[in-house]
């Protein structure tokens, strides 16, 4: 079988896959013989690269989100796609979210602003048990994040499109479930896929449902948030608005354009889509398994292009 690899670290992937699949020919998208592969292992391939492929039997998406791939105009129809599930990402994302929740629950945002004024003033600590956290999206990553926060002692509400049951998590689904969750949580965490149904789900109405002083943490996708509504809910300047603050890792356009007002908002923390890197070592087994399953004609956990994830 011929495997084509496309990613920032394509050469490492090529060598690792060649080592694990001795019968395969593995090439990168920088090589002249990149055409007519049987399988594509890729993160954000170009439309031209996809169009060059005439006999693809399967695609392995080198990430958890398939939004970029599914909206690629060069994507051939009918070719099964599998995506990474966790693959080393869930742990770092759970840490990122913990950092964000603790940031607000332990008032680090307030202390940072006080430090700028050399102001020594302690805020009464809110107990973890009185700081409910909502996790939207209970896939491999969202479920791990929800379970981590629950193990830390936070009351956790989870929400998914279809009903799910996770031990120790108050699981909600559907529109009414979302309304109920939003009304409860002091930190809202977004880990939903980017689909037409989730586009700008966090709009002015959803933000207005959150308790006053709630915070937003988004290691998911930028398209989940209506940015104008977010800025309005935050309010200008240092004085806390209805929404206390936001920790954002994903944006509709990346890199986040320098002119975005989010960069300069004093209660917004920006990170450059670093919450969940995909380390080759942790993802390799899963990619090899997917390729072997494709070749055996039994691909597992394929993406549903209709649902968008």
Residues that are catalytic: 221, 273
Which stretch, 61-69, 144-152, 196-204, 238-246, contacts ligand GLV (CB under 6 A)? 61-69
Handedness of CA 203, 205, 129, 166 (dihedral sign): negative
Q: Which residue lies nearer to ligand GLV by CB, 179 or 289? A: 289
88 touching ligand GLV, by CB under 6 A: no
Q: How far is the CB of 229 from ligand GLV (least distance, A)?
A: 23
When the beta carbons of 184 and 194 are compared against ligand GLV, the nearer one is: 194
Query: Which range binds ligand GLV by CB under 6 A, 60-68, 106-114, 254-262, 282-290?
Result: 60-68
Using the rule CB under 6 A, is 45 a contact of ligand GLV? no
CB of 198: closest distance to ligand GLV in angstroms?
A: 14
* Cβ closest to ligand GLV, residue 12 vs residue 278: 278
Over its C-alpha atoms, the chain yields an Rg (Å, rounded) of 21
Q: Using CB under 6 A, pick the residue from 6, 28, 38, 65 that binds ligand GLV.
A: 65
Cβ proximity of 234 and 245 under 8 Å: yes
Q: Does 177 bind ligand GLV (CB under 6 A)?
A: no
Does 139 sit near ligand GLV (CB under 6 A)?
A: no
Considering only the stretches 58-66, 131-139, 153-161, 234-242, report the one whose residues sit in contact with ligand GLV under the rule CB under 6 A.
58-66
Taking the complex as a whole, the smallest distance from the CB of residue 193 to ligand GLV amounts, in Å, to 9
Shortest separation between residue 137's beta carbon and ligand GLV, angstroms: 12
Residue (of 159, 166, 210) closest to 184 by Cα position: 210
Site string for ligand GLV, 247-286 (x = CB under 6 A): -------------------------------x--------
Q: How many residues interact with ligand GLV (rule CB under 6 A)?
A: 4
d(CA 32, CA 287) in angstroms, rounded, equals 23
Q: Does 63 bind ligand GLV (CB under 6 A)?
A: yes
Does position 64 bind ligand GLV by CB under 6 A?
A: yes
Q: Which is nearer to ligand GLV, 96 or 104 (CB)?
A: 96
Shortest spacing between CB 63 and ligand GLV, in angstroms:
3
* Contact between 158 and ligand GLV per CB under 6 A: no
299 touches ligand GLV by CB under 6 A: no
The residue at minimum Cβ distance from ligand GLV is 63
* Spatial separation of the C-alpha atoms in residues 289 and 264, rounded to whole Å: 44
Three-state SS across the chain? CEEEEECCCHHHHHHHHHHHCCCCEEEECCCHHHCCCCEEEECCCCHHHHHHCCCCCEEEECCCCCHHHHCCCCCCCCCCEEECCCCCCHHHHHHHHHHHHHHHHCCHHHHHHHHHCCCCCCCCCCCHHHCCEEEECCCHHHHHHHHHHHHHCCCEEEEECCCCCCCCCEEEEHHHHHHHHHCCCCEEEECCCCCCCCCCCECHHHHHHCCCCEEEEECCCHHHECHHHHHHHHCCCCCCCCEEEEEECCCCCCCCCCCCHHHHCCCEEECCCCCCCCCHHHHHHHHHHHHHHHHCCCCCCECCCCCCC
Q: Which residues bind ligand GLV (CB under 6 A)?
A: 63-65, 278
């Amino acid at each position: 079988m011929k495997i084509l690899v496309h990613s920032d670290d394509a050469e490492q992937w090529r060598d690792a896959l060649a080592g694990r699949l001795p019968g395969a020919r593995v090439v990168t998208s920088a090589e002249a013989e990149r055409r007519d592969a049987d399988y594509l292992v890729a993160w954000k391939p170009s439309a031209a690269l996809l169009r060059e492929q005439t006999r693809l039997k399967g695609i392995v998406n080198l990430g958890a989100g398939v939004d970029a791939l599914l909206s690629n105009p060069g994507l051939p129809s009918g070719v099964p796609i599998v995506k990474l599930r966790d693959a080393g990402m869930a742990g770092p994302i759970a840490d990122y979210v913990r950092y964000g929740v603790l940031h607000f629950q332990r008032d680090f945002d307030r202390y940072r602003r006080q430090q700028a004024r050399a102001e020594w003033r302690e805020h009464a600590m809110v107990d973890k048990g009185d700081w409910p956290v909502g996790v939207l999206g209970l896939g491999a990553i969202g479920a791990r994040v929800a379970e981590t926060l629950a193990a830390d002692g936070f009351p956790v509400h989870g929400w998914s499109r279809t009903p799910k049951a996770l031990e120790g998590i108050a699981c909600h689904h559907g529109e009414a479930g979302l309304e109920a969750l939003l009304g409860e949580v002091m930190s809202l965490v977004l880990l939903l896929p980017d689909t037409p149904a989730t586009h700008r789900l966090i709009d002015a109405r959803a933000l207005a449902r959150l308790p006053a002083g709630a915070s937003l943490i988004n290691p998911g996708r930028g398209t989940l948030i209506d940015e104008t509504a977010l800025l309005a809910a935050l309010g200008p300047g240092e004085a806390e608005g209805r929404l206390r603050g936001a920790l954002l890792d994903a944006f509709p356009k990346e890199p986040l354009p320098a002119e975005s007002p989010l960069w300069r908002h004093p209660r917004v923390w920006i990170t450059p889509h670093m919450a969940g890197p995909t380390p080759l070592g942790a993802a390799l087994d899963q990619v090899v398994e997917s390729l072997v399953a494709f070749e055996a004609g039994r691909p597992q956990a394929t993406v549903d292009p209709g649902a968008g994830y």
